[in-house]
A and B are shown apart, each in its own frame.
Chain A
Amino acid sequence: MSTRLAKQGRLIDRSKQVEFTFNGTTLKGYEGDTLASALLANDQMLVGRSFKYHRPRGIVASGAEEPNALVGLGSNRRYEPNQRATTTELFAGLEAKSQNHWPSLEFDVGEINSKLFARFLPAGFYYKMFIHPKPFWKHVYEPFIRKSAGLGAAPDKELVDADTYEHFYFFTDVLVIGGGVAGLQAAKTAAATGAKVLVLEEKSFWGGRAPVDGGEIEGLAAEDWIAKTLEELGAMDNVTLRDRCMGAGVYDHGYVLGYERLTDHAPEAGGPRHRLWRIRATQVVTATGAIERPLSFAGNDVPGVMLAASMRDYIVNWGVMPGQKVVIATNNDDAYRTALAVHAAGGEVVRVVDARENGGGKLADEVRALGIRVENGRAIAKVKDGKRVTKVALCAQNGEGGAREEIEADAVAMSGGWSPVVHLWSHCGGKLNWDAANAHFAPDPDRAPTSHDGKPFVVTAGSASGPLGLGAVMADAAAAGAKAAEAAGRPAQAVAEIATNDVAEAQMEAVWFMPAKADIQLRMKSWLDYQNDVKVSDVQLAAREGYESVEHTKRYTTLGMATDQGKLSNINGLAVLADSLNSEIPQVGTTTFRPPYHPISMGAIGGEARGEVFQPLRRTPMHDWHEANGADFEPVGHWRRPYAFVRGGESVHDAVNREVRNTRENLGLLDASTLGKLVVKGPDAGKFLDMMYTNMMSNLKIGKCRYGLMCSENGFLMDDGVVARIDEDTWLCHTTTGGAERIHGHMEEWLQTEWYDWKVYVTNVTEQLAQVAVVGPNARKVLEKLNAQAGGGMDVSKEALPFMEWRDGEIGGFKARAYRISFSGELSYEIAVSASEGQAFWNALYEAGKEFGVMPYGTEALHILRAEKGFIMIGDETDGTVIPQDLNLQWALSKKKEDFLGKRAHTRSHMADPDRWKLVGLETVDGSVLPDGAYAVGNGVNANGQKNTIGRVTSTYYSANLGRGIAMGLVKHGPKRMGEIIEFPGTDGTIYKAKIVDPVFYDKEGEKQNV
């Protein structure tokens, strides 16, 4: 029976009782409890079911290494699965639910299944089982695996996380990860040099294990030394201390992620729930401590079997006694501290079995002196299966598990030795050495991770380096602090010796099987990886089947692949693998340690980027007007552009047709502000633009415009737009909406890395200007009316401002630049005013235009209008594989220029191939609209038996002006096949028949734009 003690519990406040629920039952705990300690205090030994066999599982550990006690926390918009009870701080109203069972935790169908089918679930089960027959995969296996994969249920996709998150960038000379006595000492030593120091502690309390394990530092009890040191550090301006903040990962060049849990313990506090610290540290000290290893004996997963030091933690930290009759199994002296703690708290230690033939040292003597029975060379043969520990069978360690003695107990404390937490050291490449004496991998200080300067930037401190005794830990920590500060550029300092008082311990001995020659029945019940249900027998089977590489064995057996990433299981698993392969552990090696150290929330990774600031939305100066006038927006890059302006009672399609017709018949306004506008200026600007564009720009006359094409160096079309010559050495280049930043960058790249001696400056003025396309037969009338109202302005007549020219002046009182350019084939002016006057100018046009039938139009009307005229659109007719010749744009490729980007590429054999698909117009035989992206098929089949393709649709629309579907496409030998009818199989089974025609569908002579 697990109970709350009347006394003890250094972390709980007995004056503050809190209620919480577990599987709907209300339970009580204290402030300062973890969910795990509170569950144990309520005798809740069974906390979950295992992944594969649905075995009953209890709490094994007291910290982040816990593999079993994963629960679903919270509900609705605050529900989160797979949360470790051991690191969940208790608060009033906490709701926890156990996972991985059906119909209930106590009675689980899966468990019965596993008893029947356990022998069908060996290592590599998935690989072996789900191969044949093939159709079973989709209909039987995959649904089954998906249902059983993962642990807790994923949150409901309809429920949006109620919390907010944020990032924080921080820079420091020295970052200390871990706020135990080693971390505090390292911080103190480093801070004394004046270095800027940040210390992260993942728990809500400082000092780590030392107050539980005892000992004195500098003449003070560990707890008092911690309080004093915290006070000293807190008073220093150069030191920042953060608790509830885990060092999650160490990355290149001193980049470290800290995961701060701000409100997990107080969900009603408000403010962000998690903060992700994005730290740049010159030096990182990992004072991450060590993790105790389980022992591999049969039934080591029965609820009530826990790590020895964790049992001690529950007693000392939270005043919880996990059992009244405790059996302790160990291969080292540290577990005797648990015997002392159990005894001191009034529990009964029914037996200590020490696997070592010669047993323990002083601590063992102390235990014996209390009258506790200690047996050397003994082992646990088996813990009886069940939902809690009831009986423990003991045997000789050096045997097969026979001649058992069965004793009654309700808890087992086990210790297989300690492994330094090397994860953060290893994340960025720190290497390890095998320490055979202590049976663990420890960091090799000569092979540390290196930073941008090629020098080491991570140093370990305390038991994270390997030593376990308090004296050695403190000495190592002080040295680490000094080393880090010096490497961060602070003065070197001699490290004073730190006086400590602790007990000498006898040498541990590695025990990988308990008993040493356990038979198969026992090995099949000896768990290595609790969370993924991997047993000793599984790893042995993998080895027999030829999985000799540790990385392969890991994936084959899933050892260490659960959410705890094998913190408890890896070393034991490696030892079993090495034994099976008749090899040594260092030869087998370790798997790779990857960040994060423990799972961190997706919310923290996303930071502030959710809701309205999920991503930047770019708005034109007229955005609000569009929104208020029925705009149905579409994303164009980060811009939001009106697709159409929908009126009451209209569908979007209706609106598009209305806008298309009105623009040809009356007057349309288009917000063209998103078009890129780059000013290129300098004595070499003309020469430069001649390289950038396929056609000649240097000879463009001042006041005139020219449509230009841009190709990449390998010849493909990348952008187009109208270029205007502003003055002797200045040009203004329009780009596509998506091209402004890209083309600006493209120009800068060539100017900075290739023609860096050319005198050219480029400035992106896209957002300086609001640009409105005034389009339609009434375009001139509305501008003239505005000018008349303002009492004069720019002459916009055909004579004063001819097609493909521009003028500066005033329109309706607005300072403006007007371009006579047309992307619709209509009489059209594109007028640029300052962005700050964009809305006012738009309003003026709209008001004045009412008598001329003005309507705003959106991007879909823009597309249809240009398609009616056979104008290409970058991104529709081009896809990164299309060259100007494919689009019959040879006229825009200068023959006079010796060079331009793409010119050389156009002479490559494939580019000059006469069989390249070329642009044509397409008209369906029945007037319907061709499906977008459809492929045309020709005679014969390809190597795969599919029909040969001879072309594809690049743009396709319903033209309201023509009353039929129109399309453009790329077709093999297309321009030579005018009038031919080709077939486009649709995905709906229909064969669409279309006639190859000229791509200019409307006003073929171009009379309407030049009036």
Chain B
Amino acid sequence: MSDPVSALKGARHAGLVEVRETGLGGMITLRGDLDSDAIKSAVKSVTGADVPALRKIALGDAGAAAWMSPDELLLLVDYAEADAVVAKLDEALVGTHYMATNVSDARACFSVSGEAAREVMGKLAPVDFSAAKFGAGDFRRSRLAQVAAAFWMDDAGAFHIVCFRSVGQYMFDLLKVASHPQSAVGVY
């Protein structure tokens, strides 16, 4: 058994914003009836978080749960725990129609922090990043330039981006280009 490595091994870039590949995180795709008590309590038991509202991410003491679609959550847990969490979900949800899949290694994750974070995101995604429309705890799936991505904002105002692992290099390069020091837009 070797040490697992993330797509970009923690690459960083500082420009208008700081871009960081945040390494491996535990991620589980959970599909099921999000209104059901079984899912609610299962999510709570493995992350400590409630089932999030539409386009939100809910934080718990052992992880977080993000709204991906009407029948899909993305659960964020410790990387090392991901398989164990899937096993726990399998146990908790036995007999219901659901699907829990470890997708931790299928993803590349980035953070974008700094005052210009909203602007840098606004160069790549067709989403309104004004403070009135996107705040801490908001979660959105969209595209960044030419690839699908999900992102949310944390309490410190940093964005967290999740995309497919195979396009991790593209995403990093994209964020690098968009955060050119002399490319401030100056609207947020």
Contact = CB atoms under 8 A, between A and B. Distances in A.
Interface of A: 164, 166-171, 196, 240, 269-272, 275, 278, 280, 607-609, 612-613, 615-621, 638-639, 679, 681-683, 759, 761, 763, 765-769, 813-815, 834-837, 839-841, 844
17 contacts: A271-B183, A275-B183, A275-B185, A607-B145, A613-B173, A616-B147, A616-B167, A621-B165, A759-B97, A767-B164, A768-B105, A813-B1, A813-B2, A814-B1, A834-B104, A836-B4, A837-B5
B182 A613 contact: no
B145 A613 contact: yes
Main secondary structure of the interface of B (DSSP, over half): loop
Nearest to B183: A271
A619 B169 contact: yes
Interface stretch (B43-51, B56-64, B126-134): B126-134
A616 B187 contact: no
The 5 closest A-B pairs by CB, nearest first: A271-B182, A836-B4, A840-B2, A618-B166, A767-B106
B123 A765 contact: no
B166 A620 contact: yes
Contact of B146 (A168, A609, A679, A682): A609
A608 B174 contact: yes
A171 B133 contact: yes
B105 to A, nearest CB: 4
A678 B103 CA distance: 12
B123 A761 contact: no
Contacts of B101: 679, 763, 765, 768
B180 interface: yes
Contacts of B107: 767
B170 A617 contact: yes
B76 to A, nearest CB: 16
Contacts of B6: 836
B180 A164 contact: yes
Given A616-B167, A619-B7, A682-B99, 4 more contacts: A168-B123, A169-B127, A834-B4, A835-B105
A888 B108 CA distance: 43
A29 to B, nearest CB: 26
B183 A166 contact: yes
B41 interface: no
Contacts of B3: 840
B112 interface: no
Contact of B173 (A612, A621, A638): A612
B157 interface: no
B97 A683 contact: yes
A483 B18 CA distance: 42
Contact of B2 (A607, A683, A837): A837
Contacts of B130: 171, 196
Counting chain B CB atoms within 10 Å of each CB, which of A618, A835, A837, A840 scores highest? A835
Interface string B72-100: 00000000000000000000000001110
Nearest to A269: B182
B122 A765 contact: no
Given A168-B123, A683-B97, A835-B105, A608 B178 contact: yes
Contacts of A836: 4-6, 24, 104-105
B99 A615 contact: no
Interface string B147-188: 100000000000000001111111001100110111101010
A765 B98 CA distance: 16
Contacts of A240: 187
Contact of A167 (B102, B123, B127, B169): B123
Interface of B: 1-7, 24, 29, 31-32, 71, 97-99, 101-107, 119, 122-130, 133, 145-147, 164-170, 173-174, 177-178, 180-183, 185, 187
Given A616-B147, A616-B167, A768-B106, A171 B182 contact: no
A67 to B, nearest CB: 33
A767 B166 contact: yes
Nearest to A834: B105
B174 A761 contact: no
Contacts of B178: 166, 608
B99 A679 contact: yes
Contacts of B97: 682-683, 759, 761
A615 B146 contact: yes
A271 B180 contact: yes
B31 A761 contact: yes
B145 A609 contact: yes
B183 A761 contact: no
B103 A765 contact: yes
A270 B167 contact: no
A761 B185 contact: no
A759 B71 CA distance: 12
Contacts of B1: 813-815, 837
A271 B29 CA distance: 40
A681 B166 CA distance: 25
Contacts of B123: 166-169, 608
B142 to A, nearest CB: 10
A272 B178 CA distance: 10
Contacts of A761: 31-32, 71, 97-99
Nearest to B164: A767
A884 to B, nearest CB: 30
Contact of A763 (B103, B128, B180, B182): B103
Nearest to B127: A169
A759 B103 CA distance: 22
Contacts of B122: 168-170
B165 A767 contact: yes
A241 to B, nearest CB: 10
A352 to B, nearest CB: 48
A725 to B, nearest CB: 16
A767 B31 CA distance: 18
A767 to B, nearest CB: 4
A577 B102 CA distance: 71
Contacts of B187: 170, 240
B166 A270 contact: no
Contacts of A639: 166
Nearest to A618: B166
A708 B13 CA distance: 46
Contacts of B119: 168
B185 A168 contact: yes
A271 B107 CA distance: 31
B6 to A, nearest CB: 7
A836 B6 CA distance: 6
Contacts of A164: 177, 180
Contacts of A839: 5
A679 B173 CA distance: 31
Contact of B125 (A169, A617, A813): A169
B106 A608 contact: no
Contacts of B133: 171
Contacts of A616: 145-147, 167, 170
A613 B170 contact: yes
Nearest to B163: A616
B70 to A, nearest CB: 11
A834 B24 CA distance: 12
A613 B1 CA distance: 35
A794 to B, nearest CB: 14
A768 B31 CA distance: 17
A555 B178 CA distance: 42
A275 to B, nearest CB: 7
Contacts of B4: 834, 836-837
Nearest to A608: B177
Contacts of B24: 836
A612 B175 CA distance: 12
Given A166-B178, A275-B185, A761-B31, A768 B99 contact: no
A278 B177 contact: no
Nearest to B177: A608
A767 B168 CA distance: 11
B62 to A, nearest CB: 21
A620 B32 CA distance: 30
Contacts of B169: 617, 619
B156 to A, nearest CB: 22
